[in-house]
Structure 1
């Protein structure tokens, strides 16, 4: 079986073990060529092609060339940037897998939420806007604050919160993209991560963030999340909400990873934030594997390839985990801890450079250090997340202007 992997994740050394049945043709961002490798990279795959600019049009041309030259049977991916790109390649070459319509439903947030709302899933008030006038009209109808963002964005890049009419009037929208305006939602952001197929959720684990991704991307708040215990009533409600969203969108026939986000409102309601048809970022894959024994990248790739996938039991989780990605602040980094002394710390890595000036986070996934930790199922999750933030705040020192 000849598989074409489109890749910008640092997962390449693991692929021979994850997909031993396949002949792997890999088209990857050069930045993803990290080790350690079981063999020289060019010897691990049938063909390895690297590019410097993974977002360029050159990648689409290379996809077509590789599909034709290597008799590719499936195109597989792990990253948001490749969801629609891969679907269009499948359509051009008559290959099985997620369709363009399905890919767009998971990438275009307006289309996603419109389809979900038609099936009764609660979503925030929203509209597509082309200019400041349309944005002003939206704010007049739905009130302030207003969130404006790229309809196909990721990692909270390009998201702005407009809190008064002056900010709305001064907000310039570049004409090279589609912009989504939404009524700002003030709620706790929760997420569900797992596997789906044929319009149904096969397995999922519910978690909650301490801070919203937008606060991480715009204000440098740590991205900290922990899994909810199965006995938490919110976990069951999030599972039901996720199942409703997956059922409302075009079904992906193959086993596919998903990352769904919801707002838990002060009135106890749930609103859909967004859902993606790929593994979640930051520490989600590692935490999920520690809890279930299943690697979401491996399962996602094997599913897209049409190969057998080991799905965890619906109630199966060996234990609960959380993770923290600590973003750079604007200023000079003066001190980083070398280790994490918290009693439930599992893995800590610091890779920021002391003495270096940073410009703050560029997205919600930027970081100078990361932590994976166990969650005590007998305690509330939020205090455990705050304990992680308190430790980091006392250890990481920044010199700001």
Structure 2
């Protein structure tokens, strides 16, 4: 009898990639990763996992490789932990008659302009928005909407290329960055210009048509949108929770979603919840781990069950509070050293401490998810206790970054060298004034 295999197209090296591999193994499946560069997923070599190099942007190449693997394995399912490949996953699943998402719905959702149109037509509250193709369009769109505005690529993920622009100079500067060859586009260059919706940030984690829970998050300093701290579940009243859950289900219907995982981001404004983004995939970063710690629901494992045609179980096993602190550098330069992770791990209530970088690594901040150099996760019965544990553990982690010299090839940084104790400052929570200066 052929071995049942789960095909994984690419994987997030610092996010859910390894979680999907581990979930497959727990379910008795043989995970096989298809990747344009398997070395980028360092967990593959570390765990001795099977990986095949090929052009994962080429649907025909993926079909040929899966057909070839089908001669040796019983392919139980195909999926990915990355949004960029989710529409392709849907097409592969349809070709091989396997359970999977609707590729047309995924493609519509991944185009942020089309997504906005569909949501607005369904009566979902969204920020005012315009689509721009060039600098002149961006300038006029920003003037129509009114400053401040958020500029973002029409297709993208992880806050890449997303920036809050508070004045005309910042609008011009970021437009030049996006259209001047520095930003890597996944599609033809189109810029979404959006009203800046101010308010506390929440996101709904959904499987199928069921809202599993809602988390709260805080961002680092503007103008970028890099998560600094995440809390699950969010401290909401019953009415607030119901309001966000109801709007979430309307979003699913409007976009033709409802198979597998969806993550919907909100800002709670003076008018109530406003939808910032609908992501037709599993949330990245530590989110699935927070859900598992808080509720005992393993979203990744339950998703894999759905992918291979098994019945999932989304029942809560317990009720705790889990929180994560991302470690964010405050400058560019060379990482001299980083430490304290073993001491932080020993703090009672800490569930995980992970460092994503090693000494001598160049640190060049991008203003998106790639800026995170590690995280700390804590869990306890109450929000106050989890936050106290997180704070205690995070202050035990320190690092030193030497700014690039003016003669170096990397980006210059005039900031002075900080003492190790000062290096933990980027990992501390933001204040409420900063919260209103960020957008997801």
Q: What is the TM-score when the length of structure 1 is the normalising length?
A: 0.80
- The CA distance in 2 between the partners of 1:61 and 1:282, in whole Å, is 30
**Distance (Å, rounded) in 2 between the aligned partners of 1:159 and 1:219:** 7
Correspondence for 1:350: 355
TM-score normalized with structure 2 length: 0.74
Task: Establish whether residue 364 from structure 1 lines up as the match of residue 369 from structure 2.
Answer: yes
* Cα distance in 2 for residues equivalent to 1:23 and 1:390: 36
Distance 1:95 1:306, change over 3 A: closer
Q: Does 1:211 align with 2:210?
A: no
Aligned match of 2:43: 34
Report the Cα distance in structure 2 between the residues aligned to 1:391 and 1:3, rounded to whole angstroms.
36
1:398 Cα deviation after fit:
4.7
RMSD across aligned positions (CA): 3.5
Residues matched between the structures, number: 377
2:150 maps to 1:143 = no
Which of 345, 358, 374 pairs up with 2:379?
A: 374
Extract unaligned runs of 5+ from structure 1: 43-47
Asked if the contact 2:99–2:309 (Cα under 8 Å) also holds between the matched residues in 1, the reply is no
The correspondence of residues 161-172 of structure 1 with structure 2, limited to 5 A, is 161-170=164-173, 171-172=175-176
Shift of 1:99: 2.1
Partner of 1:260: 264
1:7-40 deviation line (CA, Å, top 9, x unaligned) = 31224652543443x67654245132526988x5
Does residue 1:284 correspond to 2:287, yes or no? yes
Q: What's the CA shift string for 1:147-196, capped at 9, x where partnerless?
A: 11111211111112222223334523539422211112222211111312
- 1:286-307: CA deviations, max 9, x gaps? 1111223232222112213322
2:243 matches 1:237: yes
More moved, 286-295 vs 73-82:
73-82
| Residues in 2 aligned to 1:24 and 1:349: alpha-carbon distance in whole angstroms | 23
Any residues of structure 2 matched to 1:1-400 within 5 Å, and which?
3-8=6-11, 9-11=17-19, 13-20=21-28, 25-28=32-35, 29-30=37-38, 31-32=40-41, 34=43, 40-42=48-50, 48-51=51-54, 57=57, 59-71=58-70, 74-90=77-93, 96-170=99-173, 171-172=175-176, 173-174=178-179, 176-196=188-208, 200=209, 202-211=210-219, 215=221, 218=224, 222-229=228-235, 231=237, 233-252=239-258, 254=259, 256-265=260-269, 267=270, 269-313=272-316, 317-329=318-330, 330-333=332-335, 335-338=338-341, 339-340=343-344, 344-354=349-359, 356-361=361-366, 363-374=368-379, 376-377=381-382, 379=384, 384=387, 388=391, 391-392=394-395, 395-396=398-399, 398=401, 400=415
CA distance in 1 between partners of 2:389 and 2:228 (Å): 10
Which structure 2 segments of 5+ residues have no match? 12-16, 180-184, 403-414, 417-440
Q: Give the stretch that moved more between structures: 222-231 or 288-297.
A: 222-231
Q: 1:144: how far off?
A: 0.6
- Measure, in 1, the Cα distance between the counterparts of 2:218 and 2:389: 7
Measure, in 1, the Cα distance between the counterparts of 2:41 and 2:375: 19
Q: Assess, with a 3 A threshold, how the Cα gap between structure 1 residues 320 and 155 changes in structure 2: closer, same or farther.
A: same
2:377 & 2:295 partners in 1: Cα distance?
15
